[in-house]
Structure 1
Amino acid sequence: MSTSQPPSAPSASPRTKPAEVRLDELMTAAETLFMENGFEATTIADITRVANVAKGTFYHYFASKNEMLAALANRYTQQYLAELEKAVASCPQQDWPARLRTWIKASVHTYARTFRTHDMVYGGHHHHERDNAEKSAILAQLEHILLQGQQQNAWYCPNPSMVALLLYSGVHGATDALIASPQLDAESYAHELADTCLRLLPPPPRK
């Protein structure tokens, strides 16, 4: 008589995914569909079908497509900020010119690489809107670099918030010009743009 035991059944995979994974998959499905088909043409049923979830799952997280689009805009900004912060963190801690140069170049490369997503999530935004929280978060990151450089005598910048606004707008507009001219070399363009921005910051006055 055989004493061998029958092979055990493979362990079943979890029937439910963690909430954060399900949410990320739902948002990624929506982002893909919005970019492929347009926001208006995409239905909630389309999103849940691609994400392979029940329609009720969508309403567990979002009240509407507009609310999901706002969440996608926030996710885009957080990813954008994280990339810039990572790039800046690679510079020597007290080398503020290097940090500003790196911030500008990383901003150019990140925006140029992700502008289709940017245009999709911010399609209804206008640059003159005063309550643009996403823009404010990026400005705060840039203003911090300018303020620290001012305090460490890297340059003369008595009004970091105003200079941050000018640099942000200039870098954003210059990158739009780069996107519209694919024949340009992005690395050389970003390097020259950083040089130009740094020349706008004079050295501290002699005491």
Structure 2
Amino acid sequence: MAEQRRRLDPAARRLEIIETAERLLARDGETVRVEDVVAAAGAAKGTFYHYFPTWDDLLDALRTRTFEHFDARYQLPTEVDGPIDWMRVLDELAAAFVGFTLGQERLHDVLFHSDFARRRPLPADQNATIRLAAVIRAGQEAGVFAGLDPEPTARLLFAVLHETADAVAEGEDCERSLAALQVVLRRALAARPEEGSAQ
């Protein structure tokens, strides 16, 4: 078995380390160390540092992988096949975020709420609020969403999304929580005929 492991090509060996770390971090969170990963992957410590000079480099790779998986699974629609139901897109994106966050288990906190997250802030292309703001803008252009400032609105709505995921993780009923989330998001973003007039 050891001989077979030594013959893994570099890309496969690197992926093996990433997948092992992902599994351990999801289960055990911030207690996981390099020694745990290499032992579970059947790799040498030197091999780990060959691919990931620091622990943060590994976490960076895991975070990038997380976004790649989310993007591959939940692609935003285009208008090639006709008009888009932006309210439905919003509902699906919100449910996808909650489900995806819960599926990461303890890995989510390591990647997004630990010292690592403070040391290495998210690049713009991995920032969930920037993505949400883009959806809001698209819905506004279609005349479906209210004329709110997209960036601060996205930040506030992302906080609601995150709180929903936290509540479900703590035992709240998922279906009930998602239904309430849908109502909040729709009421916040729905364009009104009287928009801009005195309320």
Quick check: TM above 0.5?
yes
Q: Secondary structure at the match of 1:181?
A: coil
Percent identity between the aligned chains?
A: 25
CA displacement at 1:176 relative to structure 2: 0.7
**Aligned in 2, Cα 1:38/1:118: closer, same or farther, shift over 3 Å?**
closer
CA displacement at 1:39 relative to structure 2: 4.2
For the 8 Å contact 1:48–1:55, the answer to whether it is kept is yes
**Is 130-139 or 157-166 further displaced after alignment?**
130-139
1:32 to 23, 26, 33: 23
Per the alignment, residue 194 of structure 1 pairs with: 182
In structure 2, the gaps of 5 or more residues are none
Per the alignment, residue 6 of structure 1 pairs with: none
Given the alignment of the two structures, is residue 103 of structure 1 paired with residue 101 of structure 2, yes or no?
no
TM-score by length of 1: 0.74
Q: Give the whole-Å Cα distance in 1 for the aligned partners of 2:63 and 2:171.
A: 26
One-letter amino acid of the counterpart of residue 158, structure 2: Y
TM-score by length of 2: 0.77
CA displacement at 1:163 relative to structure 2: 1.3
For the 8 Å contact 1:23–1:61, the answer to whether it is kept is yes
**Aligned in 2, Cα 1:129/1:16: closer, same or farther, shift over 3 Å?**
closer
Alignment of 1:37-48 (within 5 A): 39=30, 42=33, 44-48=34-38
Deviations 1:59-84 (A, max 9, x none): 22111223212322332233234333
Q: Give the whole-Å Cα distance in 1 for the aligned partners of 2:83 and 2:115.
A: 35
Per the alignment, residue 5 of structure 1 pairs with: none
CA displacement at 1:151 relative to structure 2: 0.5
* Structure richer in helix, relative to its length: 2
In structure 1, the gaps of 5 or more residues are 1-12
2:12 to 12, 21, 31: 21
CA displacement at 1:27 relative to structure 2: 1.2
Q: Give the whole-Å Cα distance in 2 for the aligned partners of 1:61 and 1:126.
A: 18
Q: Give the whole-Å Cα distance in 2 for the aligned partners of 1:143 and 1:200.
A: 13
Alignment of 1:41-80 (within 5 A): 42=33, 44-80=34-70
Deviations 1:89-138 (A, max 9, x none): 49975111111111111111221222322023334259999943379522
Q: Give the whole-Å Cα distance in 1 for the aligned partners of 2:60 and 2:123.
A: 11
What count of residue pairs does the alignment treat as equivalent?
Answer: 190
**Aligned in 2, Cα 1:126/1:195: closer, same or farther, shift over 3 Å?**
farther
CA displacement at 1:170 relative to structure 2: 1.1
1:173 to 148, 151, 163: 163
Q: Secondary structure at the match of 2:57?
A: helix
Q: Give the whole-Å Cα distance in 2 for the aligned partners of 1:77 and 1:134.
A: 12
